[in-house]
Structure 1
Amino acid sequence: MNAALAFSLLILFSLAVPIGVSLVLASAFGVQFFSSVPLLLVAQRVFTSLDSFPLLAVPLFILSGNLMAAGGISERLVDLAKSMVGGIQGGLACTCVITCMIFASVSGSSVATTFAIGVILIPAMVKHGYPVGTAAAIQASSAELGVLIPPSIPLILYGVSTETSIGQLFLAGVGPGILVAAALFVYLLVLCRIKGYGKDDGRESQPFLKALVRSFWALLMPFVVLGGIYGGVFTPTEASAIAVVYALFVGLFVYRALTFASIHAAFRQSVISSTVIMIIIAGAGLFSFLVTRSGLPSIIAEWVQQVFTNKVAFLFAVNIFLFLVGMFIETSAAILVLAPLLTPIAIAYGVDPVHFGLIIVVNLALGMFTPPVGVNLFAACAVANISIQRIIPALVPMVAVVMGCVLLVTYVPFISLGLVEWLYR
């Protein structure tokens, strides 16, 4: 049956059928013609895959991110970051990294971060003399922080699919997120000094205290959401609902930027995005059940342990595999299909499941801004109104920088587990 599942998936992918629909159709085909179980199992497993309380956090964090983007929060965060680093050469590029890191801590989505910050900073960088391809590449790579800094939707999906603590995963994402942000920050400073970009980036910057006051309510949100989780006040799922209420309150009564039309648009976009993810979750849950039932994970585990005799070689192979997967498969689908297969093997090699979750997510986050299926690339190009070909030359060094961070996260577990071990163990 595994061969039938793989073959039908390849055919559906080649016909450009959406990933979630492909997973369901391929699974139904395998059940109908190559399995003894009744076809009713398809509907049952699809329902069971979605019948999870922690999954409620996914649509709610998506909604909170869209409400924040419409409610003026992103604009104030940009002003704050510009007041901090805008006065140095390349400060506007570094502003993009800092703003994405802060916005990621309240949105949980790299695509939402790309659109919310990119519509402000890509035109600003172009106005200050950055080539449009470079500006779009900076935005696409910086928005990757949206899936590393908690709350992170991919980390929620990994936690649900492997039964790993989401709270610990959120905490483990802080170190890799800061590492990637710092690496991009240093690279962009060097790039701007060599190329001569951003010599007048200090123009139009606000005084720091004024920008801090204007962004106070925006900055308070991560402390409310994450502080509540780690303080034991509410669970990550409940925190997602708190984030929605907070975003509505700030947008309506503090910044007064939300209107009925913008709220309607935010809800509409959130429904569309959530539906796509939920269809993928349902299909991946069904597909993973059939693969697990066939015994393939045990076969793969035995083969891997025979080929890779130590943990170092295994993790290196996983990095290469996930990098290639991330280039072609959407992040949510890749996590939901591969995490249940790879995590038990990693545990057998002595890798902590929380650490392995960050290895998977950081690798797949890299795929978000690499061709041909990098969603951040398409979002940044849409904002900049350019083709992908114009962004590639500036993007290659940034991919190399993040790949270096991936290796550090992989082989230095303390980057991910330092805070977790301090607070939980």
Structure 2
Amino acid sequence: MTTLVLFGSFAIFLLLSVPIGIALGLSTFTTILYSGAIPLQFLMKELVTSVDSFPIMAVPFFILAGEIMGKGGISERLFKFANALVGNKTGGFAMATIITCMFFAAISGSGPATVAAIGGIMIPAMVKQGYDKKFATATVAAAGSIGVIIPPSIPMVIYGVVGGASIGDMFIAGIIPGLIVGFAMMLWAYIYSRKNNYKGSDEKTSFRYIWETFWDAKWALVIPVIILGGIYGGIFTPTEAAVIAVVYGIIAGLLLYRELALKDLPKLFIDSSLTTATILIIVGTATAFGRLLTIEQIPTQVANMMLAISESEIVIILLITVLLLLVGCFMDTLAAIIILTPILLPIGINLGYDPIHFGIIMVVNLAIGFITPPLGVNLFVGSGISGLSIEALSKAIIPYFLAMLFSLLMITFIPELSLWLISFGD
């Protein structure tokens, strides 16, 4: 009955449009009152101890780094370089937009932040180039989801903390899957553009022009190299890498690109603090919610139920995939990782999956949730920029959803795509 109260109250709060972090906390509080066997101090203790972690400190710093770099002239330079590579091809503007999102993903670690930073520039620019507004918005919203797959990734940090996995290995493992998802989206962008006669620019791309745009964007492109190289080279931890990203972003914006002024910093600090506060509330309440699940032995019950359905590894992993896709439609990515990792990771390990590979599967699954209604955060950000309705955007994004789903199946059933780069460090 306690389990029913926990999930029932959570569902009611969601139906009442209570924010996910508050809904998790209220449902936990309600269950504690109903149970009577758990002290009220349990909730307060979990809210504090869940965020009292050195690895968790990477989250606010990566958020701040993304805010700074989004305002420091980096987005425009990344696009110019991407456009120099593919701009003269059929659908070149769309493919350049996706590549730009992939570059920015290697800086921000956030899906919505990627959509906001790139969408404000690229959606109007694509429409001006003759692209359909729905396709342009869907392209940016979908490509923004790569923000949590290509490292650094905030969900990967949370998975590493909850699942006891190496955050550095998670970052390295996400590189190839992120590229696969990006290339799958570029393939659809090319097919759609060819069908609708969206030609590239008439300018012939020369090696000299590519080099010039590359050199102009070099301070942005070197950021992922510093972050991943430093982490995997043992020079600094992921948390320290996040701090370095902030310092580097300020230097690049103020001194190198000179598109960021000192007067801009207070607003960036405030915006990132608000985002961080929201995320840490979700982390705290989701941790308390998940701990209650463990007390009620729900993870064990779910694991036994899934393993009893079939002896086939393929059937079970597909069931897990369907579960994660459904959860991604209704629950915040970070909350889902905190709650479901203790439930699903033991099942994955029992099936023979490496914890790092399984973490990538979870992150890619839940990344799809950024573009699936009713939650679909990227859809709301894209809609806010373009003025399109969520319904129209949801239809336009279906082909990108299928591209991500195909990529997910590849990543799930070909472990080497996630683990190959890690093997070089062994």
TM-score by length of 1: 0.97
Moved more, 199-208 or 245-254: 199-208
How many angstroms apart in 2 are the aligned matches of 1:153 and 1:93? Answer: 26
Map 1:31-42 → 2, pairs under 5 A: 31-42=32-43
* Structure 2 counterpart of 1:59: 60
How many angstroms apart in 1 are the aligned matches of 2:47 and 2:395? Answer: 42
* Structure 2 counterpart of 1:92: 93
Question: Per-residue displacement from partner, 1:83-107 (whole Å, max 9, x unpaired)?
Answer: 1111112110000111111111111
Q: Is the 2:141–2:382 Cα contact (8 Å) retained in structure 1?
A: yes
* Structure 1 counterpart of 2:47: 46
Q: Is the 1:94–1:188 Cα contact (8 Å) retained in structure 2?
A: yes
Q: Is the 1:62–1:107 Cα contact (8 Å) retained in structure 2?
A: yes
* Structure 2 counterpart of 1:14: 15
How many angstroms apart in 2 are the aligned matches of 1:249 and 1:2? Answer: 51
CA distance 1:66–1:33, change in 2 (3 Å): same
* Structure 1 counterpart of 2:105: 104
CA distance 1:203–1:378, change in 2 (3 Å): farther
How many angstroms apart in 2 are the aligned matches of 1:249 and 1:32? Answer: 51
* Structure 2 counterpart of 1:116: 117
Question: Per-residue displacement from partner, 1:36-95 (whole Å, max 9, x unpaired)?
Answer: 121111111211111111000001000000000111111110111111111112110000
* Structure 2 counterpart of 1:376: 378
* Structure 2 counterpart of 1:315: 317
Q: Is the 1:128–1:201 Cα contact (8 Å) retained in structure 2?
A: no
* Structure 2 counterpart of 1:300: 302
How many angstroms apart in 2 are the aligned matches of 1:82 and 1:196? Answer: 18
How many angstroms apart in 2 are the aligned matches of 1:105 and 1:388? Answer: 27
Opposite residue 218 of structure 2, the aligned amino acid is F
Q: Helix, strand or coil for the counterpart of 2:106?
A: helix
Q: How far 1:212 sits from its partner (Å)?
A: 1.4
* Structure 2 counterpart of 1:347: 349
Question: Per-residue displacement from partner, 1:131-157 (whole Å, max 9, x unpaired)?
Answer: 111100000111111000000001111
Q: How far 1:267 sits from its partner (Å)?
A: 1.1
Sequence identity of aligned pairs in percent?
Answer: 41
Q: Is the 1:130–1:198 Cα contact (8 Å) retained in structure 2?
A: no
How many angstroms apart in 2 are the aligned matches of 1:321 and 1:299? Answer: 15
Moved more, 155-164 or 196-205: 196-205
Map 1:14-413 → 2, pairs under 5 A: 14-200=15-201, 202=203, 207-413=209-415
Q: How far 1:422 sits from its partner (Å)?
A: 2.7
Q: Is the 1:172–1:419 Cα contact (8 Å) retained in structure 2?
A: yes
How many angstroms apart in 1 are the aligned matches of 2:24 and 2:202? Answer: 48
Q: How far 1:252 sits from its partner (Å)?
A: 0.7
How many angstroms apart in 2 are the aligned matches of 1:261 and 1:75? Answer: 21
Q: Helix, strand or coil for the counterpart of 1:410?
A: helix
Q: Helix, strand or coil for the counterpart of 2:327?
A: helix
Q: Helix, strand or coil for the counterpart of 2:425?
A: helix
Q: Is the 1:89–1:201 Cα contact (8 Å) retained in structure 2?
A: no
Moved more, 54-63 or 338-347: 338-347
Q: How far 1:262 sits from its partner (Å)?
A: 2.3
Give the RMSD, CA atoms, in angstroms.
Answer: 1.5
Opposite residue 110 of structure 1, the aligned amino acid is G
How many angstroms apart in 2 are the aligned matches of 1:231 and 1:351? Answer: 26
How many angstroms apart in 2 are the aligned matches of 1:372 and 1:38? Answer: 35
Q: Is the 1:114–1:376 Cα contact (8 Å) retained in structure 2?
A: yes
Gaps of 5+ in 2: none
Opposite residue 134 of structure 2, the aligned amino acid is G
Q: Helix, strand or coil for the counterpart of 2:211?
A: helix
Question: Per-residue displacement from partner, 1:393-413 (whole Å, max 9, x unpaired)?
Answer: 321111111111111111111
Q: Is the 1:115–1:380 Cα contact (8 Å) retained in structure 2?
A: yes
Q: Is the 1:88–1:201 Cα contact (8 Å) retained in structure 2?
A: no
Q: Helix, strand or coil for the counterpart of 1:233?
A: coil
Q: Helix, strand or coil for the counterpart of 1:129?
A: coil
Q: Is the 1:310–1:349 Cα contact (8 Å) retained in structure 2?
A: no
Q: Is the 2:149–2:363 Cα contact (8 Å) retained in structure 1?
A: yes
Q: How far 1:265 sits from its partner (Å)?
A: 2.0
Opposite residue 75 of structure 1, the aligned amino acid is E
Opposite residue 7 of structure 1, the aligned amino acid is G
How many angstroms apart in 1 are the aligned matches of 2:371 and 2:39? Answer: 41
How many angstroms apart in 1 are the aligned matches of 2:165 and 2:228? Answer: 18
Gaps of 5+ in 1: none
How many angstroms apart in 2 are the aligned matches of 1:221 and 1:199? Answer: 29
How many angstroms apart in 1 are the aligned matches of 2:204 and 2:395? Answer: 28
Number of residue pairs matched by the alignment: 424
* Structure 2 counterpart of 1:416: 418
Opposite residue 157 of structure 1, the aligned amino acid is I
Opposite residue 157 of structure 2, the aligned amino acid is I
How many angstroms apart in 1 are the aligned matches of 2:161 and 2:269? Answer: 24
Opposite residue 422 of structure 1, the aligned amino acid is F
